[in-house]
């Protein structure tokens, strides 16, 4: 009897499979537009308007109703026969998929069916949960077409980005943003557009070749290690690369697009280095930095390549255009996983390096070179400070603080373009507020002035421009 129920459950699953393999369902999938993203509401409209598919779906429902009655009758017989048994039979009745589950199934067919792998699509995150655990099943998710700041059309070169925008919006790096201000005016304050603003493929090639045009000269600081010197990495080591722009290069902001380290190990080493990287965007204390989320939310991981005929490896982090961001100081913490020889397990690791000891030799490493890749943006601090002070003074005097629309639009544009370069945040979490860090450390505003300027910009954005609230997480 239990075998009969098992066969019936398999028949139930086979009915779903037959429906998905039907000509009607396959034709429906082929007719779905692939030039833009289809939210579940759009899939629902197309689902309901396909008469052939609806006829085939009604056949499926009728078949499942008949099967459900048979399964229920068989289950009742089984339970009545098992009254005197020591253990009651365990059987779960199959449930019919709802229309919403079928619509999500359609989205999964569209966006989570790549490289022979399958997954389930999550519209709230616009991402796939692959059944293999890796992200190999996810196809490029098309852009969203709609009104306002949504795309008017997706790009032919990269379907995930906008190709054109609606009236009143301009295309900027695959996104549509309000035409609040002429970009040339923003360039007078911060030169966001530079000659080194390469396309992704070209940028990746230059980073792999370590092109000298992308070198940024930084100062290496560490009280715990020295370059080109072997050290014991079993305990945390800290090093920093800093620019000291407030003293040396006050007319520039700096962008990081990659990081490279050359690490050499002793032969037969059991060391597996681990790096934790914190970034200070515009100077400040260590607490005003953020941690690079390697491998999370689409963020890249370290790439490790062994150099030919040596015990050295190039560790490279390629941020590219997508994850490039402002930096003033990069803090690198090195930890390691290692199989420690028995004789060294009680060793503090704080003594001098002894290369003659074969047990200790295998755990030593050295960093031969460390390099930040990026470029600098020309920054007119005096001009920007003058614009910020106009807003600040009007606000403190209680006047109509958005009377100068051109200044408000200009600062809104600059704030948006700076905060857009913040690191990725978890779904549902706000972005970090890099703009306030720039006000604090490069324009030298105090906390009260920063709050007044941001509040004035928020009020202008919501009351005059009728845009949504600007939610960010405090960093500085």
- Please give the pLDDT value at position 346: 45
pLDDT at 444 over 60: yes
What is the model's pLDDT at position 342? 47
Residues pairing with 117 in the sheet: 114
265 vs 365: CA distance, rounded Å: 5
Note the pLDDT of residue 357: 58
- The DSSP output letter for 142 is P
Q: Tokens in use for 55?
A: 């006829």
User: Which residue, 258, 268, 363, is CA-closest to 314?
Assistant: 258
pLDDT score recorded for residue 343: 47
pLDDT class for 39, splitting at 50, 70, 90?
very high
Spatial contact of 33 and 103, defined as CB atoms under 8 Å apart? no
Query: What value does the mean pLDDT of the chain take?
Result: 82
pLDDT at 59: 93
Q: Is residue 115 left, alpha or beta, with left meaning phi > 0 and alpha meaning psi from -120 to 50?
A: left
Q: How far apart are CA 263 and CA 315, in angstroms?
A: 7
Report helix, strand or coil for 109.
helix
Burial environment of residue 399 by CB neighbours within 10 A (0 to 12, 13 to 18, 19 or more): exposed
CA gap 240, 237 in Å, rounded: 10
The predicted-structure confidence for 18-37, as pLDDT tens digits, reads as follows: 999 999 999 999 999 988 99
pLDDT value of position 4: 61
Q: What is the pTM of this model?
A: 0.63
* Interval 355-387: pLDDT, tens: 555 556 667 888 888 999 999 899 999 999 988
Report the C-alpha gap between 175 and 464 in whole angstroms.
23
pLDDT tens, residue by residue, 258-310:
999 998 887 766 677 888 899 999 887 888 899 999 888 778 889 888 888 88
Coil, strand, or helix at residue 30? Answer: helix
Phi and psi at residue 330, to the nearest 5°:
-115, 120
The two three-digit tokens of residue 298, written as one number: 């689409």
DSSP classification of residue 231: B
Rounded to whole angstroms, how far apart are CA atoms 263 and 314? 7
Confidence at residue 133, expressed as pLDDT on a 0 to 100 scale = 67
What is residue 413's predicted lDDT score, i.e. its pLDDT? 85
CA distance 4 to 71: 9
> What tens digit of pLDDT does each residue of 163-222 get?
888 877 777 767 887 765 556 677 888 888 777 766 667 777 887 777 888 888 888 898
For the stretch 56-83, pLDDT in tens is 999 999 988 888 888 778 777 767 776 6
């Amino acid at each position: 009897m239990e075998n009969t129920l098992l066969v019936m459950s398999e028949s139930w699953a086979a009915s779903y499979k037959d429906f998905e393999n039907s000509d009607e369902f396959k034709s429906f999938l082929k007719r779905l537009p692939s030039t833009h993203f289809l939210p579940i509401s759009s899939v629902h409209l197309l689902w309901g308007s396909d008469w052939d598919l609806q006829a085939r779906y009604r056949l499926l429902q009728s078949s499942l109703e008949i099967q459900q009655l048979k399964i229920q009758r068989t289950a009742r017989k089984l339970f009545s026969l098992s009254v005197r048994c020591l253990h009651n039979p365990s059987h779960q009745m199959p449930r019919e998929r709802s229309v919403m589950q079928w619509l999500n199934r359609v989205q999964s067919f569209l966006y989570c069916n790549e490289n022979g792998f399958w997954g389930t699509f999550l519209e709230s995150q616009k991402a796939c949960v692959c059944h293999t655990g890796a992200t190999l099943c996810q196809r490029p998710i098309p852009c969203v077409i709609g009104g306002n700041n949504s795309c008017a059309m997706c790009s032919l070169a990269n379907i995930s980005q906008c190709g054109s925008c609606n009236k009143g919006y301009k295309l900027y790096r695959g996104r549509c943003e309000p035409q609040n201000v002429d970009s040339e005016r923003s360039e007078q304050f911060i030169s966001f557009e530079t000659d080194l603003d390469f396309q992704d493929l070209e940028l990746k090639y230059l980073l792999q070749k370590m092109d000298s045009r992308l070198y940024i000269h930084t100062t290496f600081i560490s009280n715990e290690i020295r370059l080109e010197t072997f050290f014991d990495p079993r305990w945390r080591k800290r090093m920093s690369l800093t620019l000291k722009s407030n003293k040396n290069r006050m007319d520039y902001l700096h962008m990081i697009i990659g990081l490279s380290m050359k690490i050499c190990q002793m032969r037969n080493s059991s060391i597996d280095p681990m790096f934790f990287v914190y970034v200070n965007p515009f100077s400040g204390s260590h607490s005003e930095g953020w941690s690079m989320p390697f491998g999370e939310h689409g963020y890249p991981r370290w790439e490790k390549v062994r150099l030919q005929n040596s015990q050295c490896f190039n560790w490279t982090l390629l941020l590219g255009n997508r994850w490039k961001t402002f930096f003033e100081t990069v803090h690198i913490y090195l930890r390691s996983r290692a199989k420690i020889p028995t004789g060294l397990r009680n060793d503090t690791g704080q003594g001098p390096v002894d290369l003659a000891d074969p047990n200790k030799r295998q755990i030593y490493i050295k960093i031969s070179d460390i390099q930040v890749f990026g470029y600098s943006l020309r920054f007119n601090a005096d001009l920007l400070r003058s614009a910020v002070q106009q807003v600040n003074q009007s606000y403190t005097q209680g006047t109509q603080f958005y009377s100068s629309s051109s200044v408000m639009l200009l600062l809104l544009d600059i704030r948006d373009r700076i905060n857009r370069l913040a690191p990725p945040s978890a779904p549902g979490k706000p972005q970090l507020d890099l703009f306030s860090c720039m006000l604090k450390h490069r324009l030298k505003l105090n906390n009260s002035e920063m709050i007044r300027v941001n509040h004035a910009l928020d009020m202008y954005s919501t009351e005059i421009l009728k845009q949504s609230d600007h939610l960010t997480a405090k960093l500085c």
